[in-house]
Amino acid sequence: MNESSKIPAKFLKPYNPALTEDRIYELWEKSGFFNPDHLPERNKQGQPFSIVLPPPNVTGTLHMGHAAMLAIEDIMIRYKRMKGYRTLWIPGTDHAAIATQSKVEKQIEKTEGKRRHDIGREELLKRVNLFAQESHDTIVNQVRKMGASIDWSREAFTLDEHRNIAVRTAFKTMYDLGLIYRGSKVINWDPKGQTTISDDEIIYETRKAKLYTFKYSKDIPILISTTRPETKLGDTAIAVHPDDIRYQAYIGKEFDAVFAGEAIHVKVIADTVVEKEFGTGALGVTPAHSSIDWDIAQRHNLPQKQVIDEFARMTVGSESIKGKKVTEARTSVVEWLKAEGLLEKEEDIEQNVATAERTGGIIEPLPKLQWFIGVNIPFTIAHSSIPGITSGSKTTLKEIMLQSVKSQSITIIPDRFEKVYFNWIENLRDWCISRQIWYGHRIPVWYKGDQVYTGIEAPSGDGWLQDEDTLDTWFSSGLWTFSTLGWPNEALTENDKSNDLKIYHPTSVLETGYDIIFFWVARMILMTGCLIGDVPFKTVYLHGLVRDGKGRKMSKSLDNIIDPLDMIAKYGADATRLSLIIGTGPGNDMRLSEDKVKGYKNFSNKIWNITRFILSASAGERFGSTDVPKIIYDPTFSLWSSAEALHIKTFNALISEVSKEMDDFKFYLVGEKLYHYIWHELADKILEESKLILNSDDIVARTSRVQFLLYVLNMLLKLIHPFMPYVTEEIWQEMGNKQLLIVEEWPRI
């Protein structure tokens, strides 16, 4: 086929994403179509469809997991926009308090040899804010590079002024309801970061350990087993199962001993939490250094004795133990046991060691005065749209979290994660929300002598001192779906049609990784149910982790990290996006290699070359001749030959099929089917078949075939656009279309 100037000159060269993508994104931004207020009239009159972006932490750059999230969410938004919905996708970033402050503190210590207390709160926050802003700018650039059609005019930050008002309002409201309280409990203490962390922020590492079986003294006849003999200096009881016949005679007895230089008093108690088959069936109860033991102590009115401080050092014991780090003290205690002839057995085992996600420090359970949200505290809910929870009735936060999913107000995809969710909620403990760091939302509580004031604003008058602690990051991100839509400022304007909260909440979909279903998803359901009386979203779509081509987790140590920006620079955003979609369903981990991305770059070129072929045919070109009249696409054309009619029937069936699968969130299937049709059906079969028809002198047959090819091309560009927005928009514009493809109507049969 001759190539001529009858088709756009751009198609005479291979597709070049590097020369296309930034220009096309700028075109989209200038159009205003990312903002639902500027969409065409059919969208403004359509049903709302909203997503809030899971806010990336301002601690660095985006990774392939973020890229997958952006690709999936952009597919949803672009599809719904083309279907005529009033689409809103809100962007934002998370201050990620512990992670961000920890990163800046490490930089300061490395470059200046100083710690946070050396430079003071004000100077540290100044530096953290600067770091966060620089990181934010990098992240925003990366989100744009992925082609995310996101409404930048509504961008939010979990630590900006509006979110600050929302956080203080939420705290005050929940405090007044009796749900937030201050109390002493055993919490997870990070000795390295010098702060509490939640159960969700713990990483368990499998490490080799020793299991020691011993007696406290020769006068105490019961053997116990533990991997941490140094904590036994704080024991106040020995717990056995009430049905364990071995220990029936000892229940209720009390013993005194000097254990490794520390006087202890233990009482033998019966509790069903003890497992008869584990170890000796007897448990040394250390209420101050185990949350399980703390609960046992509450049930049996046992004293709590702290023997480890905030720096993981022993505060009691003999000279060889007191003041030592717990690992050193452990060795000393074991040596003492051996010397006293009390050590019965020593076994090598593997143990799950709790470490802080952000600092890597080994967690020490410690009793501390902290702020908590009580998940089992009954309160009167003013308003509820959640089935099973009545407005004005008594309920609990745990019940709200359970009913939101049980009532099917929220659908979790894939549904196997519902069981995981319910299991976690059933075992949920009160949420420790205070953190001993400086970066973050400061707790809105003030003290003056014995007076305590909780409010949205500081109390008037002199002498008030604000609580030094900040709130857990998940407290502010738990408000994300409604604080980004104007709450609490817009909460009362019920009849305002421009009110984002009334229009777009509950949001339509929360798309996030399955690894934070407990961190974030559950927290949002808790906070929204309590403060709004509704669910935060209607559907939860969980994606898996992005692994390397061998199925390994990407890490610096394995040198297998694939940077999304590198892939975009080499192969384009379309290829990068498609490589993260095809082949992986929701909730499953995906394997990614550079070769996979490269393969979809070839697919971009294939679409480009198919377009050149069809436009050449439309322009009147055929083999050996260029004197055939140009054929203009006619959407109403119906004089099909039998061959075209059969092709159209097959193609229309594909449109119906993929449209339903898009509604069912089966994006991986849609991408695969469109890829197969374009490459193997259209390119390999239909275009090859078309060459004979286009080279003939039968003008009727040629017209029918060209109209069919133009129809298929127009429809395919729309179908594949949510997946590959850049190459499709570029082709659409080069074909002379006046309206942007981003707001074209999704194909209908």
Give, to the nearest 10 degrees, the angle between helix 97-112 and helix 121-145: 110
Residues 597 and 728 in one domain: yes
The pLDDT of residue 2: 41
pLDDT single digits (tens) 129-155: 898 888 889 899 999 999 999 999 999
Upper half-sphere CA count for residue 680 (Cβ side, 13 Å): 6
| Same domain? 721 vs 691 | yes
Where a domain ends, among 542, 571, 600?
571
CATH number at residue 655: 1.10.730.10
Range of the domain at 697: 589-743
Flag whether pLDDT at 81 surpasses 70: yes
Same domain assignment for residues 200 and 329: yes
Mark whether 593 and 567 lie in a shared domain: no
Number of domains comprising the chain: 3
In a domain, 563, yes or no: yes
What CA–CA distance (Å, rounded) separates 622 from 625? 5
Mean pLDDT over each residue of the chain, to the nearest integer: 92
**pLDDT tens-digit map of 371-429:** 999 999 999 999 999 999 999 999 999 999 999 999 999 999 999 999 999 998 988 88
Find the mean pLDDT for residues 249-254: 96
pLDDT at 493 over 60: no
**536, 511 in Cβ contact below 8 A?**
no
Query: Quick one: 210 and 124 in the same domain?
Result: no
Whether residue 598 sits in one domain with residue 567: no
pLDDT of residue 328: 96
Q: Is residue 17 assigned to a domain?
A: no
Distances (CA, A) of 684 to 1, 482, 646, 670, 674: 17, 50, 17, 20, 14
- Closest to 353 measured CA to CA, from 591, 526, 188: 188
Question: Residues 473-490: pLDDT tens digits?
Answer: 999 999 999 999 999 987
391 in a domain, yes or no?
no
* pLDDT on residue 619: 85
Same domain, yes or no, for 233 and 132? Answer: no
- Rounded to the nearest 5°, which phi and psi values hold at 457? -115, 160
Q: Are residues 553 and 611 in the same domain?
A: no
**Is 207 found in the same domain as 108?**
no
Phi, psi of 211 (to 5 degrees): -105, 120
In a domain, 2, yes or no: no
Same domain, yes or no, for 510 and 603? no
Per the model's pLDDT, the better-predicted residue between 527 and 64 turns out to be 527
pLDDT value at 329 more than 70: yes
Residue 1 has a pLDDT of: 37
Given 362, 393, 421, the domain boundary residue is 362
Report which of 147, 152, 87 is spatially closest to residue 577, judged by C-alpha positions. Answer: 147
Condensed to tens digits (0 to 9), the pLDDT of residues 704-741 reads: 999 999 999 999 999 999 999 999 999 999 999 999 99
User: CA neighbours within 13 Å on the CB side: how many for 476?
Assistant: 30
- The 10s digit of each residue's pLDDT in 633-678 is 999 999 999 999 999 999 999 999 999 999 999 999 999 999 999 9
Any domain includes 416: no
Over residues 75-103, the mean pLDDT reads 93
User: Which pLDDT tens digit goes with each residue over 278-326?
Assistant: 889 999 999 999 999 999 999 999 999 999 999 999 999 999 999 999 9
Please give the residue that has the higher pLDDT: either 214 or 589.
214
- CATH number of domain containing 491: 3.40.50.620
Domain termination residue (choose one: 324, 344, 362): 362
Q: What is the pTM of this model?
A: 0.89
Which band of pLDDT confidence, cut at 50, 70 and 90, is reported for residue 6? confident
Q: Are residues 527 and 630 in the same domain?
A: no
Query: Does residue 521 belong to any structural domain of this protein?
Result: yes
**Domain assignment present for 448:** no
**CATH number for the domain harbouring residue 246:** 3.90.740.10
State whether 326 and 210 are in the same domain. yes
> Residue 176: its pLDDT value, please?
97
Whether 414 is covered by a domain: the verdict is: no
C-alpha angle with apex 300: 290 to 198, nearest 5 degrees? 30
pLDDT band at 518 (very low <50, low <70, confident <90, very high): confident
Tens digits of per-residue pLDDT, 542-588? 988 888 888 888 776 677 888 899 999 999 999 999 999 998 888 88
